[in-house]
Amino acid sequence: MPLFRSEEMTLCQLFLQSEAAYACVAELGELGLAQFRDLNPDVSAFQRKFVNEVRRCDEMERKLRYLEKEIKRDDIPILDTGENPEAPQPREMIDLEAAFEKLENELREVNQNSEALKKNFLELTELKHILRKTQTFFDERESLMETESMTRALIPEDVTSRQVVAPHNLGFVAGVILRERLPAFERMLWRACRGNVFLRQAEIDAALEDPVTGDQVYKSVFIIFFQGDQLKTRVKKICEGFRATLYPCPETPAERREMAIGVMTRIEDLNTVLGQTQDHRHRVLVAAAKNIKNWFVKVRKIKSIYHTLNLFNLDVTQKCLIAECWIPVTDMETIQMSLRRGTERSGSSVPPILNRMMTREVPPTYNRTNKFTAGFQNLVDAYGVATYREVNPASFTIVSFPFLFSMMFGDAGHGLLMTLFALWMVIKEKPLAAKKIQSEIWVICFAGRYIMLLMGVFSIYAGFIYNDVFSKGVNIFGSGYKVNLTDEELKHHHSAMLVPDEANGHYRQTPYPFGVDPIWMMAENKIPYLNAYKMKISIIFGVVHMGFGVILGIWNHRYFGRSMNILVEFIPQIIFLVFLFGYLCILMFIKWTKYYAGAEDQTLTPGCAPSILITFIGMVLFKYDTVPLDGCDNYMYPGQVTLQKVMIIVAVLVVPILLFGKPILFKIEMNKSKNHAALHNQNGTAEGEDVEVAGVPQTDGHEGGDEPHEFSDVMIHQAIHTIEYVLGSVSHTASYLRLWALSLAHSQLSEVLWLMVLRKGLMFQDWYGGVLLYFIFAAWAALTVSILVLMEGLSAFLHTLRLHWVEFQSKFYAGAGYLFVPFSFENIMEVQPGEE
């Protein structure tokens, strides 16, 4: 049966002809069933045979990434058809390289051109603004000169003659500077030129695009008037320092107008050219976007093939490559076929050779899973990968995990919500998987969709057993209780208990057919009653689960040829578990069936029902002298004392067998092999054995796995195991009480939500009650989903996981294997997008 044990693996040697190697590895990659070993572990990555090809692939990937970045920058959608192109032949690689090179060069050229064009465009725009704004400055200067001429008449001749000279020799520079820099610029000018320069500035309203970064920046036009050459150089230097761009501005208005017209035409031309460049770039990118996913897949496949080829060994004749791989035995035929296909495709004549090799190394653990079982296998592997060929708990986890979860989650309403969500994920599997959503929480949730579906379905069942639907009970079959009290009696007492004995007539004398009677949901003593029930079933299911784990150990012992272990490990373990905790469960069943309200026999009335816990403690402590209550019997069945004493003694006696059994067997075997060797020596056979068998083979680690070879090792190992088992059985049994604890917490939380939120909403009268209820329901629903389904669900999931990993698996699971990681294109493609 698949999944009961991991698959049988064999180490194979593969001889491939050099020409065929590439194609064969490509075929094996598509198949995904072979794990290659590195035959050159001490060779560095740079010294391997195919390092050049890997480098070329890296180059191609870099070009593709550049292309992808450009495509994303322009917001062009990348087409993902989900198709899986085959790995291209080596000769195709050159074509691909050339294509990528051409695309990259074209793009780079286009980008450069557009950058230069944009720079030009910027300069022309700035010039345009300057020509417009400076018109006002010059007008002001004219008026300044006029005012000068007006004052001339008022001032005496000799004074003005000196002043007239000044305005005519005013030089100026015009330029553009970032607005933020303007105040500092002005201050610097003032200080450096001692206030002898005159600055006018005006803001450019429109934002301009910086060609390099593509940002929008705000700039201002300025014009500086100064006299003399020294000031001119100083001004120019300061402009350079503040990275203001200076433009030649003609003096006369006529020239300026001409220049303005010329600038406008040039700007228009530039715009057209810029538009065309962008169009061209867009077209190139759109064409590339169609194929880019395909190319990525192809390049990755080539690269992975060459990485794998690097693991191979080149044989002496340099003609063929030798590979070592682990493959599942059942798939040898399939692999042979794909190898033959690969050889045919490459056109080589020599068929590849696949040889099985005998080895003592431990093979990897391979469990063949489908999309349903994969989730459960992952849960098991997360704790530890199964040792090669040991019993795999995954197939049992498929049911036990959701079942134990449902015992803790037990609410049919919340279970329904969970089931619907999981059902949606399962039905819409393919489209959801194709979306490749990157959120990690979603990925985990989606991967566990089948687990969630089962958890939900079992929770609905548990919800009906516990009779809990969104914290309300449902009365499907009619309650077993009716009220047999007169109205007078009811009025006198604040509350009453409907004692279920036959005389009173409250109870039908047969229980509610399926699940907990709905009357308990309304009872004030619901919690003590349900507690007793839930604690008992937690222990019962705990003991069953653990017992199952111990029993699974039998198959491990038999498979690994340790049949004696069944006698010295399994039997003591199961006796200990059953005689102590199995008996505890039996006591529970006895109490359930024997004692009842209204019993004629006084000893069977509820007042005399013994506490199971006290009975158990008394049993372990050998305390049998307690005085029974009046009319009661201390014991539940005749012969109880003797039986209990016998069981405790046997259970205690079984512990030394568990402790010493295996080491003693080991010692016996050791002695046997020593005698065997001595016999051989006497007969004078091969001396080689002398050295090996004389004592105990100490350092040889190849003898069938990881069995210790010293008596002290075995003894210590077994002592640890015994202590773990004995102490563990007590603590693990108690640990299963979390099934009760979480179920109680869940039902209480959901009850609180009902009492405090939804019930209050339903109690409003009048029309506004409806409006309020609308909002209150929203709050109740949000809290239900977030706290009760999500948080409690996660919590119960975690506890179930712990119960499986620790309490169940410690009874039989070794988990010391390593995972089978085949060379598979599927796996590689899945991993890469996440890494990017």
Partner 1 sequence: MGASAIPIIVVTAFWFVVGAILPWFVPKGPNRGVTQTVLVMTACSCWLFWLCCYLMQMNPLIGPEMSNHTLLVMKQEWGSSWKA
**Which 496-515 positions form the footprint of partner 1 (CB under 8 A)?**
496-500, 505-515
In the complex, minimum distance from the CB of residue 486 to partner 1, in angstroms, rounded to a whole number: 9
Q: Which of 442, 592, 775, 818 binds partner 1 (CB under 8 A)?
A: 592
Residue placing its CB nearer to partner 1 in the complex, 178 or 498: 498
Question: Is 805:286 a contact under the CB 8 Å cutoff?
Answer: no
Selected from 78, 426, 566, 599, the binder of partner 1 by CB under 8 A is 599
| Binding-site member from 485, 571, 785, 787 for partner 1 (CB under 8 A) | 485
Residue from 438, 495, 682, 712 touching partner 1 (CB under 8 A): that is: 495
Report the interhelical angle of 51-73 vs 90-154 (nearest 10°): 40
CA distance to 29, 143, 145, 151, 730, per residue, from 156 (Å): 104, 22, 18, 10, 121
What is the Cα–Cα distance from 419 to 456, expressed in whole angstroms? 4
Q: Tell which one of 79, 483, 629, 798 touches partner 1 (CB under 8 A).
A: 483
Beta-strand ranges (E) seen in 130-253 are 170-178, 198-203, 208-209, 216-217, 219-227, 245-247
When asked if residue 593 is in the footprint of partner 1 (CB under 8 A), the reply is yes
Interface stretch with partner 1, choices 217-225, 495-503, 552-560, 746-754 (CB under 8 A): 495-503
With beta carbons less than 8 A apart as the criterion, state whether 362 and 817 touch. yes
Distances (CA, A) of 578 to 307, 330, 543, 556, 584: 55, 40, 8, 20, 9
Q: Which of residues 353-372 bind partner 1 (CB under 8 A)?
A: 368, 370
Among 340, 345, 594, 760, contact with partner 1 (rule: CB under 8 A): 594
Q: CA nearest 693: which of 703, 563, 565? A: 703
Nearest residue (CB) to partner 1, 223 versus 742: 742
Is residue 519 within the footprint of partner 1 (CB under 8 A)?
yes
The answer to whether 456 touches 789, Cβ cutoff 8 Å, is no
396 binds partner 1 (CB under 8 A): yes
Binding mask 153-182 toward partner 1 (x if CB under 8 A, else -) reads: ------------------------------
631 binds partner 1 (CB under 8 A): no
Contact between 501 and 597 under an 8 Å Cβ cutoff? The reply is: yes
CA angle 549/743/379 to nearest 5° reads 40
Going residue by residue from 373 to 392, which x/- string records binding to partner 1, judged by CB under 8 A?
A: x-------------------
> Looking at 26-34, 179-187, 479-487, 549-557, which segment touches partner 1 (CB under 8 A)?
479-487
Q: Shortest Cβ distance from residue 379 to partner 1 (Å)?
A: 15
Closest to partner 1 by CB, 48 vs 526, is: 526
Shortest distance, position 429 Cβ to partner 1, whole Å: 18
How crowded is the C-beta side of 792, counted as CA atoms within 13 Å? 31
Q: Which is nearer to partner 1, 504 or 681 (CB)?
A: 504
Nearest partner of 580 among 610, 605, 550, 625, judged by Cα:
550
Q: Check residue 242 for interaction with partner 1 (CB under 8 A).
A: no
Does 522 help bind partner 1 (rule: CB under 8 A)? yes
Site residues for partner 1, 109-138, by CB under 8 A, read none
Q: Write the Ramachandran bin of 82: left for phi over 0, alpha for psi from -120 to 50, otherwise beta.
A: left
649 binds partner 1 (CB under 8 A): no
**Of the residues 462, 543, 578, 654, which one makes contact with partner 1 according to CB under 8 A:** 462
Nearest-5° Cα angle at 652, 646 to 653: 85
DSSP state of 185: H
* Distance of alpha carbon 761 from alpha carbon 543, whole angstroms: 44
Question: Does residue 527 belong to the site contacting partner 1 (CB under 8 A)?
Answer: no
How many Cβ atoms sit within 10 Å of the Cβ of residue 309? 22
Cβ-based burial of 192 (10 A; exposed 0-12, middle 13-18, buried ≥19) = middle
- Residue type, position 8, single letter: E
Least CB distance from residue 20 to partner 1, whole Å?
32
CB atoms within 10 A of CB 834: 10
Is residue 26 within 8 A of residue 307, CB to CB? The reply is no
Of residues 533 through 572, those in contact with partner 1 by CB under 8 A are 533, 536-537, 540-541, 544
Q: Considering only the stretches 288-296, 426-434, 591-599, 702-710, report the one whose residues sit in contact with partner 1 under the rule CB under 8 A.
A: 591-599
Tell me which stretch binds partner 1 (CB under 8 A): 304-312, 487-495, 562-570, 697-705.
Answer: 487-495
432 near 807, Cβ under 8 Å?
no
Q: How far is the CB of 4 from partner 1 (least distance, A)?
A: 7
Give, for 13, the enclosing helix (H) or strand (E). strand 9-17
How many residues touch partner 1 under the rule CB under 8 A: the total is 72
Which positions from 400 through 419 interact with partner 1, judged by CB under 8 A? 400, 403, 407
Residues 773-792 binding partner 1 (CB under 8 A) are none
For residue 754, state whether it binds partner 1 (rule: CB under 8 A). Answer: no
Question: Quick check: 516 binds partner 1 (CB under 8 A)?
Answer: yes
